[in-house]
Structure 1
């Protein structure tokens, strides 16, 4: 089984509790939709987060968020092929995988496309206080070109992203202290164009700290959804 969930920001306890509750196995996969926070501080806090996540039975596949360093910038990470796509991993934590953006993963016969990254509305707050912020948090032109190459003449079962296409922005989650005219929405605008060009059964995203569903768009924060939901979506599509 594949279990999808949202941002954890360095706090793995909900995932650990969930795994114990449903009795997950080594054959299962947990997908965290960005802002894992296991590569944020660069110190023992990251190590502890990774140590705890590595204790759970399933493979943990992490999507890139906007509150973490890209593994490609960390010397301890290596790449390998996993279920048809490229992931970053550390030998100390072999079940903790970080997906390369634009890769396609066939997990349990379900084809997933990964598109991580987002803009940080708290960028200036973090910089003013010496907290971590990284200029490559959003998809680069190179990543965008790779994604667009990957979607050519392909359909997908699931798209995994950190933020969502612009048309699905949950405006009720906007922070009242943030002037939206100052927010860089280029990633969401680009995802709009991607969403309009691909066929998919479900799109899972995090980032917005909410649990809701709009059509095929699934927003996740503390909740978990199962890959079996795709069977429900197939039924809906057949009725339509």
Structure 2
């Protein structure tokens, strides 16, 4: 079975409850919609989370959230140039890349059942074609960068990601079964969930790059259901489903 779970932010209670209820096995896949906590700047905390997930005998496929940039490290020299990644900060040689169920992702040998999906990849799991695209606007990005001295992957989707997503979709005739993303297409933004502070207002007024790119994809794509997280709510609008407390089961 395939289970899709919203933002965790380091809280694995939903995963543990899912494992308790469903008795997860190696034949199952749990898709995490970003902001997992697995790339926390607190290394001991992140390592603890990874060890707990590695102890569960199932496959975890992680979509990139805006707080997950540190995990997405295996880029070609060309991709690093496009993403403006500084060697030694985001790049981490402990991550390797592999193809799993037709899609590419990054993993660490110590935690082989945790795969971080590369943006724009299509995975075929249990005969379901699943498009994965991460990223979202990060609140207080500059403040976090200044305080923690960390360079984050840019908020807006880069040309290398757009081109790869379009190329992969062309191979599938612009038809997949599911789309899993961190944020949502532009026209589905739940504006009632916006936090009314200055930084958030600036973020959402100025940076719709991810959402607009996803809208362009959606307008051309044939799909059954679009699953996303980021906004910390459970809501269904047409065939777009926001997940936070709920867990979606792909059958």
Question: CA, structure 1 residues 61+161, in 2 after alignment: closer, same or farther (shift >3 Å)?
Answer: same
The reply to whether residue 170 of structure 1 matches residue 193 of structure 2 is no
User: Which runs of structure 2 are paired with 1:130-209 in the superposition (5 Å)?
Assistant: 130=148, 132=150, 134-152=152-170, 153-177=173-197, 178-180=200-202, 182-209=205-232
Long gaps (5+) in structure 1: 229-240
Question: CA, structure 1 residues 45+223, in 2 after alignment: closer, same or farther (shift >3 Å)?
Answer: same
The reply to whether residue 80 of structure 1 matches residue 102 of structure 2 is no
Structure 1 residue aligned with 2:128: 110
**What is the TM-score with the length of structure 2 in the denominator?**
0.85
The reply to whether residue 37 of structure 1 matches residue 60 of structure 2 is no
Measure the CA separation in 1 of the matches of 2:43 and 2:235. 34
Measure the CA separation in 1 of the matches of 2:55 and 2:37. 17
- 3-state DSSP class of the match of 2:187? helix
The count of corresponding residues between Structure 1 and Structure 2 is 228
Measure the CA separation in 2 of the matches of 1:30 and 1:211. 18
- 3-state DSSP class of the match of 2:17? helix
Runs of 4+ in 1 over 4 A off after TM superposition: none
The reply to whether residue 98 of structure 1 matches residue 133 of structure 2 is no
Aligned with 1:89 (options 102, 107, 130): 107
Measure the CA separation in 2 of the matches of 1:135 and 1:154. 27
Confirm or deny: 8 A CA contact 1:211 1:220 kept in the other structure.
yes
Confirm or deny: 8 A CA contact 2:130 2:180 kept in the other structure.
yes
Question: CA, structure 1 residues 61+187, in 2 after alignment: closer, same or farther (shift >3 Å)?
Answer: same
Structure 2 residue aligned with 1:235: none
Deviation per residue, 1:116-140 (Å, 9 max, x gap): 1112023144245437560434421
Question: CA, structure 1 residues 10+133, in 2 after alignment: closer, same or farther (shift >3 Å)?
Answer: farther
Q: Which moved more, 1:132-141 or 1:38-47?
A: 132-141
- 3-state DSSP class of the match of 1:52? helix
Measure the CA separation in 2 of the matches of 1:133 and 1:67. 11
> Over the residues paired in the alignment, what is the CA RMSD in angstroms?
1.7
Shift of 1:33: 0.6
Measure the CA separation in 2 of the matches of 1:50 and 1:159. 25
- 3-state DSSP class of the match of 1:25? coil
Confirm or deny: 8 A CA contact 1:78 1:90 kept in the other structure.
yes
Q: Which moved more, 1:175-184 or 1:79-88?
A: 175-184
Confirm or deny: 8 A CA contact 2:132 2:180 kept in the other structure.
yes
Structure 1 residue aligned with 2:3: 3
The reply to whether residue 219 of structure 1 matches residue 242 of structure 2 is yes
**What is the TM-score with the length of structure 1 in the denominator?**
0.89
Structure 1 residue aligned with 2:78: none
Shift of 1:146: 0.9
Question: CA, structure 1 residues 121+161, in 2 after alignment: closer, same or farther (shift >3 Å)?
Answer: same
Long gaps (5+) in structure 2: 75-90
Question: CA, structure 1 residues 137+144, in 2 after alignment: closer, same or farther (shift >3 Å)?
Answer: same
